[in-house]
Structures are given as structure tokens and as C-alpha cells.
Amino acid sequence: VTEPKKDLVESPEQAASSGSLAARLSLSHKAGGVAVPVATVVLAFLIGGLVVLATGHNPLLAYRDIFDGAGLNWIFHPTTDTQGSIAAYNLTQTLLQSTTLIFTGLAVAFAFRCGMFNIGGEGQYIVGLVVANWIGVSFAGMSTLPHVLFAVLGATLAGAAWAGIAGVLKATTGAHEVISTIMLNWIAIYTATWLFGAGGPLQNNLPGQSTNPVSNDVVHSAQLPVFWGSQGFQGLDIGFFMAIGALVVFWALINRTTLGYEVRAVGFNPDAAAYGGINVKKNLIRAMAISGAFAGMGGAVDMLGYLYHYGSLDVQNSAAGGVGFIGIAVALLGRNTAVGVFLGSVLFGGLIYGTTQGLSSNVIEPELASNVTLIIQGLVVLFIGADILILYVWNSRKRLRRQPPTQAPAKAAA
């Protein structure tokens, strides 16, 4: 492991050999500013558009319909005519989706800040869903505020514990968190399938529904109030503000606390951090647990906010392009910062809803368009990962600007 870099503008070779992922990410982020994620998104959309074009659809019209499907055209229809109210409904759905992605994005981002790749957001989110459902269904006698707090707290702690397993394994035995969180994902997925499944402990006890592998609805006292739209039609609940609160907590934790400082130091260079007196193992466990807490809370907010119940098939379907995985794209695109995660989650929230239920288009059908979302997501992650390319382009631009072209290509100084 090399020593921490003070210079931002270094050669790509040096950047590649600097060991830690967090160091590399922060390097490429600072090098490109906002331009890099924006360029990444544009490029990913261009390639996605090419795929659409190559298969005989008009990409511009398709993207316009997706934009409308996400309800973003609400800005142009603030009135309450029919089109405006459809747009408003779509926008609430987009924001519901974004709420989830803020939580799972923060889960990935926090671990990244400590130099770890939390690929297990999906499992931590499912654990949160399960615990929130159990508490929300079981303790029917409680009044609203304590019931909601109890459910959210329980799910948050469960998510933290689930991710904490990976943190403890990493700190004590050196087991790579990528492998352990992947395994924890699948364990969570199959366990939840069993819990909600026919004869499982959390399956519903409604008459005539004994073969339906779906849970009970959480009772009214545990449901989050809706502030935009109506409760019966999946309106936007106050979970959205809880997500905004989580963003603020994330920002404050990372930037304004000793904990955040230690986590970042370990992420940047564990050896240097240990030399400076920081307990690396403790921070690895702590960062993983906090990371899982965000995802678990996301599960609780979704369960209490609009899902109310969940089923085995929902769990199985989430295995492929689940919200935990989209959180990776959100965090990488958002450069692991609070503001970035917010913007990333609105983008992907819009893409997801705008290409599925929200899409009414005669250019491209939702079944096809939803896969374009997956392709764009993959491309975004692929390009962001190639930080050397970004650095190289950035550096050569700087060199061109600062040095006369006749000079020998020396290493650029900051």
C-alpha cells in the first residue's frame, strides 16, 4: 500500500497502484468534479439509446415517454387538469422509489467511505422489511408513534446486525466483505421466502388464503401517514422526509464527527490510519453496521410507508435487479456524498418507475424499457469504475491548458 496522496493530479499509473478503493474513488471524483458523473450518465443514456435505436424504436421519443412516465412533466403541468394529476401521481411514485434508493444508496456509500464494498444492501433491506413487517403486524395494541418508532428501530438494528456479520468476519478473519455480503444476500432471500411462504411463521392468517405466500398487512397504527396523494392509492408517505433526514445524518456523521473522520481515514489508507492510532478493526465493523442500518431502515420505511405486506414471490423477484443493487449505482454515481446520493436516487427512481408502471407509450413497451434501465445502470457502474480513464482524460486536459505543447511531457504539478 502506498502512502496517501496529497496531489490530486498524478499519473494514472500512480493512481492505479494506490491500493484502497476509497482512495481511488475520491481521487477520481475530485479530479473530474461534477463533470464526470454527468458525462457518465450522458454516455450511458447515449449507449442505451443506441440499443433502442438498433432494435427499431425511436430513442428520443422513448426517452420522452420515460420522462413523462416518471412524472417529471409535472413541472409543466402544475394545474389540476387530468394530465396534471396523472403526472402528479407518477411523480409521487417516482419519489417513493427514490426514497428506497436513498437508503440503499447511503448503505453502499457509507461502506465505500471506509474502503469496503457493501454488495449486500439487498439482504439488509430484506431483513429490514421482514422485521418491520413482524413488528408492524404483531403489536396491534400500540399507539401510532411508539409503534412506528419501535418498528423502524427494530428493522434498523436488524439491518445493522446483518451487515455487521460481514464486518466482524472482515475484522477478525479477513474474509472479504464482497463474498460474505453476497452470501448474506442469498441467505436473507431464501429465509424471507420461507418466512412468508406457505406455512411459514409470517404468512398471513386470513381465511381462504392459506396457500397464498404473502404476509399479513401491518396494522393501521404502524402505517406512516401520507402527505401527497391518498393512502389507498399508494400516496407519498412521510418516509420521504425520513430519507432526507438520513441524508443529513449521513453528511453529519461523515463530515462532522470523529467517527466519520476515523472511517474515512481507514478507507483512505488503513495502514496510515493504524499508525495514527485509529483502531482499524473496530472501524470496519462499525462502518459495516452503520451501512446496514441505513438499508434496514429503508426496508422499514417501505414496509410501513406503502407496501404493508410482502410475499415470497416479491422476495424472489428482488434477487435480480433489486433496490440493494441499484443502490450501488446510486452511490457510485453520487460520488458517495449525501447530495450525490439524493440526485442519483431521483434519477434511478425516475428511470425505474418511468420504464415500468408509469410508462404509457406507443414507442416502447414497459417490458422492453425496464431492461434499458438495467443496461444504463450497468453502464454507469462500468464507466464510474474506470477511474483511470477519467483521470487520464482530466490530466491531459489540464496539461494542455497549463503547459506549452513544446515542453516535454513532465509530470503535472498541482
Partner 1 sequence: MTAWGQRLENPVSDRLRDPRTTGIVALGLGVFAAFLAIPPIEARSPIWPVVVGILAVALGIWTATRGKRKLGWGAVVGGLLGIGLGILATRSGTGNLEAVFDATLIDQTFGLATPLVFGAIAGMFAERSGIINIGLEGMMLMGAFFGVYGADKGGSWVIGLLIGMASGGLLALVYAYFAIHLRADQIVGGTAVNFLAVGITGYFFQLVYNGNVTGNVPLIPNVHIAGLGHFLENSIGNLNLLTWASFALVILAWVFFFKTPLGLRLRACGEHPRAADTVGINVYLVRYCAVVLSGVLVAIGGVYLSLGPQGNGTFIFDMTSGKGFIALAAMIFGNWRPAGAFAAALLFGFSSALALKLQVYSPQASTLFATLPYVLTLVAVAGVIGRTVPPAAEGKPYAKQ
Binding site for partner 1 (CB under 8 A): 12-13, 16-17, 19-21, 24, 51, 55, 115, 117, 119, 165, 169, 172-176, 178-180, 182-184, 186-187, 190-191, 193-194, 197-200, 319-321, 325, 328-329, 332, 365, 367-368, 370-382, 384-389
Reduced to 3 states (helix: H, G, I; strand: E, B; else coil), residue 114 is coil
Q: In terms of Cα–Cα distance, which of 181, 193, 203 is closest to 325?
A: 181
Q: For 71-109, give the DSSP string.
A: TGGGGG--S-SHHHHHHHHHHHHHHHHHHHHHHHHHHHH
> Which set of grid coordinates corresponds to residue 203?
404468512
Smaller CB separation from partner 1, 2 or 360: 2
Shortest Cβ 316–partner 1 spacing (Å): 8
Task: Kindly tell me which of 127 and 243 has the beta carbon lying closer to partner 1.
Answer: 127
33-59 as b/e: b if 16+ CB within 10 A: eeebbeebbeebbebbbebbeeeebeb
Give the nearest distance from C-beta 173 to partner 1 in angstroms: 5
Q: Nearest CA to 22 among 246, 260, 253, 258?
A: 260
Instruction: Collapse the DSSP code of 141 into the 3-class scheme (helix H, G, I; strand E, B; otherwise coil) and give the result.
Output: coil
> Which CB, 153 or 388, lies closer to partner 1?
388
Rounded Cα gap, residues 349 and 100, in angstroms:
9
Length of the chain in residues, anyone? 414
Q: How far is the CB of 410 from partner 1 (least distance, A)?
A: 17
Element of type H or E holding 236: strand 236-237
Closest contact distance (angstroms) between CB of 92 and partner 1 is: 26
Distance CA 213, CA 348 (A): 29
Nearest distance, CB of residue 236 and partner 1, angstroms? 28
What's the min distance (Å) between Cβ of 405 and partner 1? 25
Q: Toward partner 1, which CB reaches closer, 126 or 243? A: 126
Compute the C-alpha angle 223/138/202, nearest 5°. Answer: 100
Minimum CB separation of residue 337 from partner 1 in Å reads 17
Continuous segment of H or E residues that includes residue 119: none
Set of cell numbers at residue 298: 429503508
What's the closest the beta carbon of residue 275 comes to partner 1, in angstroms? 16
Nearest CA among 215, 192, 207 for reference residue 307: 215
Nearer to partner 1, 36 or 88 (CB): 36
For the chain, report the end-to-end CA distance as a whole number of angstroms: 22
* Cross-strand pairs, 215: 203
Minimum distance from residue 24 beta carbon to partner 1 (Å): 7
What is the closest distance, in whole angstroms, from the C-beta atom of residue 375 to partner 1 in the complex? 4
Distance CA 155, CA 110 (A): 18
205 burial via Cβ count (<10 Å: 0-12, 13-18, 19+)? exposed
Nearer to partner 1, 97 or 193 (CB): 193
DSSP letter at 5 equals P
